[in-house]
Structure 1
């Protein structure tokens, strides 16, 4: 198949490209710059010029392909709410280009959207339309397409990592340097799910080839890694002190990430593994954090 891949030059997208090519697919990668186009061509992909600010350019890419994998997202957290609305518009535009066909579109969300109302482990069968996380806009946009009989499949991401970056933990390290210490709240029992980027890329391809219309897949490998364990590895690697803090100190040590300090983001992958036969093999989160180049 010819796959239109948004976010093709990004952290996850750049790992999806070789997985797709190895499976005999062709990749039409979205790029807004000459440098991005060169990167895609060097990776063996075709180039589709476009921009997240112009939904029509994503729609034309979707129309030119047999399937869509939508990984692109504007990760500027200063405008997070606006960025979720932008994602909603882009999903709607690509969906309109696929309407009346059997072509699938894979969209990208977060595991937290699958958290039950009373808290606990996120699962694939849960979708709370009133979820407080603005990223719910992505899944509501997908649900609107499903209602129009468009084949939408959702990949929910945990903290995706390798030895160069690790989801929200990468900006957490920057906040720790600013504050002069790596902190965790209370006893550090907050837990975040995680997966190695290569395993996440494998899951996208499996969901494309074996997935079901309307299904949601949790890309979590580790159900939950404790905040204290994460902080201790970062402290050793970055040569920073590690300390427990009280709720009134969260903003000082976490900055704009304060809302995440005490939020569990744990997720099961049992249903996803059973449905797709996903077999993760990558390193765990703490191993990658220990190997990170903190210079």
Structure 2
């Protein structure tokens, strides 16, 4: 198929392009940076520089590509941000999930795209009864105030994509990424790994919030499955072992050769960094990926973060 990947140079985008090309698909990949076009061409994709917040530029790029499938992997996250820069990246990502989604959908509709696949996130799925939920779980309707813009943007994306009638609209709620290109890896200068080694990422409160993880190559292969045979709706994409944040962070520190993470009381983190990180570390819900395994035949290479942390961080 002819596939247009918006955000092809991002954490998951490059892995996705590589796998799509290996399966014989023709890929046009977008990037914000002209300096990344060569890397995309080396992966086997045609590359194009596009500002996803410019509707005319998006429409033109999609019209020229004439794809059968559009994949939305746009975020503005990356690099080694300061606290202020991280807030700017979050706000920019929210715009990509709202305005950027609308621009891509309009462009895809105009050229008769038959499948539209978009990146969502499972971190803010509502925790109601159990510790783990399937795709019937909704995004938290009452998130902490400092997380509301992020959750609202995800909600806009999911409703816009799964609500289309002219194509198969699919939203993928990914768990936390780790592995090459994600920052949670052993590569020199990996941002998240460096913060963990410096003990800057603490266990907050009891650390009982559930976390779901997925190796970046497994996230890409799940996306390929959705592109090739997915049905309209939402799919969860994570490994088979949702676990409390305290267990995962401790294991990740060991895998990176770091000292155990510090522990901080929830009230202190709430005072310094807001309610959102406290909520994630103490109240978050895990996700089940049984639907995508059952319906699309997806099997993760790393069924548990335990093996993934020891084998898949390089």
TM-score (norm 2): 0.79
Offset from partner CA, 1:225-267 (integer Å, 9 cap, x none):
3322233234443533444332233359978845533232410
- 2:226 corresponds in structure 1 to 207
Offset from partner CA, 1:14-55 (integer Å, 9 cap, x none):
111121112211000002323211011111110122023323
Residue 245 (structure 1) aligned to one of 264, 285, 299: 264
- 1:103 corresponds in structure 2 to 114
- 2:11 corresponds in structure 1 to 11
- 1:224 corresponds in structure 2 to 242
Gaps of 5+ in 1: none
Quote the Cα distance in structure 2 between the aligned partners of 1:113 and 1:187. Answer: 19
8 Å Cα contact 2:3/2:69 also seen in 1: yes
- 1:45 corresponds in structure 2 to 45
8 Å Cα contact 2:70/2:113 also seen in 1: no
- 1:72 corresponds in structure 2 to 74
- 1:277 corresponds in structure 2 to 297
- 1:150 corresponds in structure 2 to 166
- 2:141 corresponds in structure 1 to 130
Gaps of 5+ in 2: 78-84, 185-189
Matched, 1:162 2:164: no
8 Å Cα contact 1:114/1:123 also seen in 2: no
- 1:266 corresponds in structure 2 to 286
Residue 156 (structure 2) aligned to one of 122, 127, 140: 140
Quote the Cα distance in structure 2 between the aligned partners of 1:241 and 1:146. Answer: 42
Q: Decide whether aligned partners of structure 1 residues 182 and 48 sit closer, same or farther in structure 2, where only a CA change above 3 A counts.
A: closer
8 Å Cα contact 1:112/1:122 also seen in 2: no
Give how far 1:171 is off.
Answer: 5.9
Q: CA RMSD in A?
A: 3.2
- 1:58 corresponds in structure 2 to 58
